[in-house]
């Protein structure tokens, strides 16, 4: 039985590493295939005399103040939910360590939400000052 435990102790991390690398390579392969197919599509359009749309580089989406408002509300709500969950857990369980972890998670997520809301209000104020 001890040999099986030792073997599992080695196989689990090893398989996690191999699977992680496999997923990374699989992702790279599919991204390459997507770009290759887009190139072929453009090439066929040119051969048939069509004008292909301009090739736009992969652009990151611009974050608007409204995005920050939405994310801030979501994160703050999750933080409040975790805090309520921690309070309920502390009432029904004696596992103070787990309750502490949930409380810290609630504080982190809640403050991330407050930060997003603060960014929303600051950026909204700056855009209204610029437009006036």
pLDDT-derived band at 95 (thresholds 50, 70, 90) equals confident
Indicate the domain borders of the chain: 1-58, 65-131
* SS3 state at 58: coil
pLDDT-derived band at 10 (thresholds 50, 70, 90) equals confident
**Structural contact between residues 102 and 79, judged by C-beta atoms closer than 8 angstroms:** no
In this prediction the pTM is 0.53
* Statement: residue 79 has pLDDT above 90: yes
- What's the confidence (pLDDT) of residue 117? 93
* Cα separation, 103 vs 87, whole angstroms: 8
pLDDT-derived band at 7 (thresholds 50, 70, 90) equals confident
- Comparing CA positions, the residue from 61, 62, 66, 63 lying closest to residue 124 is 66
* Cα separation, 84 vs 106, whole angstroms: 9
The residue among 52 and 59 whose pLDDT is bigger is 52
**Structural contact between residues 114 and 78, judged by C-beta atoms closer than 8 angstroms:** no
| Interval 30-53: pLDDT, tens | 999 998 998 999 899 999 998 888
């Amino acid at each position: 039985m001890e040999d099986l435990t030792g073997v599992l102790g080695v196989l689990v991390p090893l398989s996690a590493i191999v699977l992680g690398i496999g997923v990374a390579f699989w992702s790279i392969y599919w991204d390459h295939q997507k770009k290759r197919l887009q190139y072929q599509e453009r090439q066929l359009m040119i051969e048939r005399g069509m004008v292909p749309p301009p090739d736009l580089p992969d652009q990151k989406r611009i974050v608007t103040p409204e995005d920050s408002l939405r994310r801030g509300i979501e994160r703050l709500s999750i933080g409040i939910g975790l805090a309520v969950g921690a309070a309920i857990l502390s009432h029904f369980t004696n596992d103070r360590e787990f309750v502490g972890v949930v409380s810290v998670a609630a504080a982190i997520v809640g403050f991330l939400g407050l930060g997003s809301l603060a960014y929303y209000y600051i950026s909204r104020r700056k855009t209204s000052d610029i437009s006036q």
